[in-house]
Chains A and B, each alone.
Chain A
Amino acid sequence: MPDRPLFLERASFRRRRLGDAARVLPVVSALLVLLPVWWMPRLISFAAGAAWFFGLWAALILAVWALHRALLRAEAVTLRAEAAVVEAARERAAAQAAETGDTAARDSHGAF
């Protein structure tokens, strides 16, 4: 069983970092929503607060949208790369098999 590789190629590395971002995002958003109210409730309760929360809200929606898009793309890239590796291996194996098969066929003609 192959061990986990020590270093990842670019596509998988990027996908994992994006995954990290997806884990951090809820924490960041929770902090941004909760902290101002604990910190300065009087300032945040009225018009300024409305502007802050709705602005933050819109930013979070955009962030999730961008993150999901990037993650889906990174996933697709990784999948393609994996598929390419598998395909290459399969072709190599097929070529080898064909070669061996040819030789065997020649032999069976040669020997009598």
Chain B
Amino acid sequence: MPFETLVAGCLAYVALMFAVAFAADRAAERGRVRWLDHPLVYTLSLSVYCSAWTFYGAVGYATRSGLEFATIYLGPTIVCTGAWWGLRRLVRVARMHHVTSIADLISARFGKSNPLAALITLIAVIAATPYIALQLKSVRLSFEVFATETPQGAAPGGAFGGIGLWVAAGLALFTILFGTRNLAADERHHGVVTAIALEAVVKLLAFLALGVFVVWGLAEGPADMLDRIARAGRDPELAEGWLLRPDRWTALILVSAAALVTLPRMFQVMVVEAADEERLHVAGWAFPAYLFAMSLFVLPITVMGRELLPADANPDLFVLTLPAAAGQNLLAFLVFLGGFSAATSMVVVCAIALATMISNHWIVPGWLALRRRPAGEETEDLRGLVLNARRLAIIAVVGAGWVYHEASGGGAALASMGLVAFTGMAQVLPTMLGGLLWRGANRRGAYAGFGTGFALWLALIFLPSIGIGALPPLPERVDPLAFSIFLSLSLNTLVFIGVSIFGFPDPVERLQGLSFVSAVEPIRHSRMTRGEDRAEPLLAMARRVWGADPALRFFQAEAAQQGKSGYLPDLTPNFLTRLERRLAGSIGAATAHAMIDRVAGGVALTVSDLLQVADEAQRAKEEAQRLESATTELARTATQLREANDKLTALSVQKDAFLGQISHELRTPMTSVRAFSEILMTPDLSDEERARFAKIIHDEAGRLTRLLDDLLDLSVLESGRAQLTVTAANLHDLIGRALSAASATRPERSFTVERDMPSEHLPVITDADRLLQVLINVISNSRKYCDSDRPVLRIRARRSEQGGAQIDIIDNGSGIDASRQSLIFEKFARLNDPARAGGAGLGLAICREIMAVLGGDITYLPGQGGAAFRIELPRRPPAGAAQTHS
């Protein structure tokens, strides 16, 4: 294919990517993120894992080492089988803390320590530089292949050297354009992610098309293919390399599993660009499926490449040379675009991730440390500073890759350069896992473990890979790479655990540890502020990071949440914590922490603060328990209230009835008084008649008086104005008088009265007349209502425990049913029909009032075989009652 056509095709493809990224960013700006947020787009963006190393290098790797190439994809597959509880949790915790990179995650976990983040950034940069060089190299190689395959054979020789530079510059431009557009708190780049998803589709289609062509076009179907693979396995030249070595196999699966979560670019797409953990439900199986599809045809391509291509052909380029040699130029071009996509997407995401780390952990903290001014005087635009730092870092990262590419001249095989990066980032794994799973892990342990791993990786893997130093001599059966991996990772882990065990983390770290390990929202930060007027400087600071409008929106929302209007919320610990986490989303946890400390004034957390936090948790628990018991109490009260309500309702009905009744009661005698007085006015009456009518009038007036007396008596008693005449009396005498007085009620009935004479002789100190009134009333009631044929009245008196007296008056009638027992002492209560009772229904109410005034009580005794009342007298009336002593 002519070089110019190739370049034109490439440029057209690049233009398409720019357009897609631009359109996606525009759509996201307008809030149309539903499609962009689709789990499928997320899954495809994860495919940035398959860089050019996969696309070209897998076949080369398979040529040299057979099935071992699959370790790079089996590792992530195993991690994905644990997506439900593993990756989801990682994403949830990271989103909770607005983590911006893997370095930020670890720094936030270990007490927001910036030096730790800076160290991790360092290993990431060292590991990534050869890796980026590798991508540039793959693009240059693919160009070379195509250009030398042109029929003219006159490729412009000097062009290839420039290709790396041109590609690097284009990628840097793309990354700066779409990767540093904003400094949003949630750090998502819709444009980049969408473009990468599209590139993932191109990669996959290209590789599958090639695979299908190889299996069905060059070979004769899958069965034939398996035969050829088996034959290749018997080839002594290959068999030695193809034989799987268990130690290498295990080490590589471990490292590639770690790479899925620790490589900066993977962390970027999987964690930082994820809106939530829900999308892992799809990605958990779809991403392994993608890897499966990308690996399925690697062995067939390897085998066919070896069979059909000359022996000196570079196996790393079989994917391109195979279709080209078969005359399938279009397919070859598609494959070329696939490889181009793989390389570019990796560089773009890697550059974004590294630039975020470099700016957040190197440049911005350094800048703030250099320009230490008193808080509040800073006016410079931090947002611009951070964005420019990122742009600079992108150029530096891509530039370093290009320099490395130029310097190394591209000698090493693709696969080994990729493995260097994988093993480097795998050193972060023990710290990361420990931080997420073990509350005891602390910063010193992290420094020590990670430092050990880093040093071993440099000495055993990185430096030898660029030709400096060498491994100490090993026994022949030990694989150097597997040995280095196991040694560095196990020492790393051991040192990390060992140092952590003997450390005592500071309070911030312990709070963060709790939040990370339990995957709960960070407990409120017990941060103190110097003054109440610091909200404005904080707003100014947030404005410098986010720009004016987003900062104002955030502050207004916070103020509204506190119930305040305007833009300045109170500096509550909750607000400060939220502000810090939002800021951390833009500039990293450590820097955000330091900045808020400077502006709002922070007092370092102390152990007693932590204890206070624990106290609060305890208090919250107790509060919950208290609430629970309060709820039960409430339920009880509600029941009581309902009972009271029922009673009130019944009484209300009775009262209505009684008002009618009392009017009637008053009206009846009045009517007869009026009628008979009219008759008396007629002159022609005999004296006898006159006397009779006068008596009737007299009787009726008496009835009226009694009724009114009762009412008056009751009202006097109720108001507590009753005068008591306290004397000593013998209870026996009182009962005797009461019985004889009450015998006037229904005198026609003969009652058997059972008395216990000896026990009745009790001296009582009370108002004898009032007590007598009560006794008469109760006994008359019995006489009135006892419905037995042979009525018996039992009276029992005894000394009560408190020293007073207790009198039970029990008849043998049918008693009062339970539903009415609570009502009988109410005013106007009358159980039977009024005519029969002949009273106004005030008797027992008066009794109760009298007993209350005397300091005693009268109650109904249920279950005595009839109506039974118990009258209780205290030793003497209460001192508070109005008394006149005689």
Instruction: Verify that A and B bind, or say they do not.
Output: yes
Asked if A54 and B292 sit within 8 Å, CB to CB, the answer is yes
B-contacting 9-mer, from A4-12, A56-64, A77-85: A56-64
Q: Collect the chain A residues with CB atoms within 8 Å of residue B218's CB.
A: none
- In the complex, the answer to whether A61 meets B249 with C-beta atoms within 8 Å is no
How many of chain B's residues have a CB under 8 angstroms from any CB in A?
Answer: 52
| Contact A41–B244 (Cβ < 8 Å) | yes
- Cα A34 to Cα B78 in complex, Å, equals 11
With A25-B82, A37-B246, A47-B230 already in contact, the answer to whether A1 and B67 are too (CB < 8 A) is no
Tell me the minimal C-beta distance from A46 to chain B in angstroms. 3
Residue of A34, A47, A54, A100 near B233 (CB, 8 A) is A47
Pick the interface stretch among B167-175, B420-428, B645-653, B735-743: B645-653
**Residues of A with C-beta under 8 A to B67:** 44-46, 49-50, 53
Choose from A33, A42, A58, A100 the contact partner of B74 (Cβ within 8 Å). A33
User: Separation in Å of the B649 CB from the closest CB of chain A?
Assistant: 6
Task: Tell me which residues from 229 to 281 in chain B have a Cβ below 8 Å from any Cβ of chain A.
Answer: 229-230, 232-234, 239, 242-246, 249-250, 253, 281
Is the pair A47, B229 in contact by a Cβ cutoff of 8 Å? yes
B242, A68: Cβ atoms closer than 8 Å = no
Q: In the assembly, what is the distance between CA of A71 and CA of B277, in Å?
A: 14
Partner of B624, one of A1, A38, A63: A1
- Contacts A1-B625, A47-B229: A22 and B84 contacting too (C-beta < 8 A)? yes
Contacts of A34 in B (CB 8 A): 246, 249-250, 253
A57-B288 in contact given A46-B233, A47-B230, A100-B642 (Cβ < 8 Å): yes
A95: interface (CB < 8 Å): no
Q: In the complex, what's the smallest C-beta–C-beta distance from A93 to chain B, in angstroms?
A: 11
Which residues from B are CB-within-8-Å of A45? 66-67, 233, 242-244
A interface secondary structure, majority: helix
Q: Tell me whether B289 is interfacial, beta carbon within 8 Å.
A: yes
B residues bordering A, Cβ < 8 Å?
Answer: 66-67, 70, 74, 77-86, 226-227, 229-230, 232-234, 239, 242-246, 249-250, 253, 281-282, 284-285, 288-289, 292, 295-296, 299, 621, 624-625, 628, 638, 642, 645, 648-649, 652-653, 656
Closest to A39 in B: B246
B649: chain A residues within 8 A (beta carbon) = 103, 106-107, 110
Residues of B within 8 A of A44 (CB): 67, 244
Q: Chain B: which residue is nearest A67 at the CB level? A: B84
The majority secondary structure among interface residues of chain B is helix
A contact residues, range: 35 or more
CB <8 Å contact, B83 and A107: no
Residues of A within 8 A of B288 (CB): 57, 60-61, 64
User: Which residues of B lie under 8 Å from residue A47 when comparing CB positions?
Assistant: 226-227, 229-230, 233
Which residue of the partner chain A has the closest CB to B628? Answer: A1
Complex: chain A residue closest to B245, CB-CB: A41
- Asked, given contacts A34-B253, A49-B244, whether A63 binds B233 with beta carbons under 8 Å apart, the answer is no
Chain B residues with Cβ below 8 Å from A29 are: 77-78, 81
B85 touches A72 (CB 8 A): no
* Chain A residue nearest in CB terms to B234: A46
Q: Chain A contacts of B227 at CB under 8 A?
A: 47
